[in-house]
């Protein structure tokens, strides 16, 4: 069918110039006067060509244009969907980032609180250790003082005995003398003995 239409349109196209040439031989051509034969064949060629184009060319061209429009619309829809998905992902990432920041702030706050608590505990522990050391030092000092007082008493007793035995120049019993001096020293106040 296509080959038949192509052959008809080719013969019409080929016949039109021949008819026009034949008319030129008989009459001179006046461009401003209408030529009915030429107009008829031009109209026939136009109608045939329009029929052929409508039947075989315009439909495929229109279908190709419509298919291209559909592909473009599909691409635009896909791009819109991709943009929406990207916006959703961006929003999710922003929310996750905000949540991470909040979590980081919370962790930092907890670390600060824990650090302060640990520092306070360490200060308290140091104070307790210092207090214990002071108490031990005081106890040791008190023990040393008591030991020194006891040593001083012994030396005082021995000196008093030695001094008394020289003064009296008689031989007294050592045990009795010691008891007498110790009882005397026990009656003397501690502050007075320490100063003396």
pLDDT digits (tens, 9 = 90+) for 104-113: 999 999 999 9
Residue of higher predicted confidence among 8 and 96: 96
Alpha-carbon distances of 139 from 126, 136, 150, 193, 195, rounded to whole Å: 19, 5, 16, 21, 21
Residue of higher predicted confidence among 172 and 43: 43
Confidence of residue 1 (pLDDT cuts 50, 70, 90): low
Say how many Å lie between the first and final Cα of the chain, rounded: 150
| Residue 2 confidence (pLDDT) | 60
Residue of higher predicted confidence among 15 and 64: 64
CA 131 – CA 124 distance, rounded (Å): 10
Average pLDDT score over residue span 147-151: 86
Confidence of residue 146 (pLDDT cuts 50, 70, 90): confident
CB 84 within 8 A of CB 41: no
CA 39 – CA 25 distance, rounded (Å): 17
CB 193 within 8 A of CB 155: no
* Residue 162: Cβ-neighbour burial (10 angstroms; 0-12, 13-18, 19+): exposed
Average pLDDT score over residue span 59-78: 91
Alpha-carbon distances of 69 from 64, 76, 100, 196, rounded to whole Å: 8, 10, 45, 122
CB 180 within 8 A of CB 172: no
Determine the angle formed by the axes of helices 36-52 and 2-26, rounding to 10 degrees: 170
Most confident of 49-53, 84-88, 151-155: 84-88
The mean pLDDT of the chain is 80
Phi/psi at 161 (nearest 5 deg)?
A: -65, -45
| Residue 109 confidence (pLDDT) | 92
Is residue 153 scored above 90 in pLDDT? no
């Amino acid at each position: 069918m296509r080959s038949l239409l192509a052959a008809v349109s080719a013969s019409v196209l080929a016949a039109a110039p021949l008819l026009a040439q034949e008319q030129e031989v008989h009459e001179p051509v006046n461009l401003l006067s209408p030529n009915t034969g030429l107009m008829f064949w031009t109209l026939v060629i136009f109608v045939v060509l329009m029929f052929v184009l409508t039947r075989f060319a315009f439909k495929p061209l229109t279908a190709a244009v419509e298919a291209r429009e559909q592909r473009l619309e599909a691409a635009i829809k896909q791009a819109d969907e991709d943009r929406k998905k990207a916006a959703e992902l961006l929003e999710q990432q922003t929310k996750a980032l905000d949540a991470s920041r909040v979590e980081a702030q919370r962790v930092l706050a907890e670390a600060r609180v824990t650090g302060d608590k640990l520092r306070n505990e360490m200060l308290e522990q140091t104070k307790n250790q210092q207090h214990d050391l002071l108490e031990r030092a005081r106890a040791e000092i008190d023990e040393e003082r008591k030991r020194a007082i006891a040593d001083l008493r012994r030396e005082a007793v021995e000196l008093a005995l030695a001094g008394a035995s020289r003064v009296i120049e008689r031989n007294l019993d050592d045990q009795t003398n010691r008891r007498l001096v110790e009882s005397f020293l026990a009656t003397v106040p501690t502050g007075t003995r320490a100063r003396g």
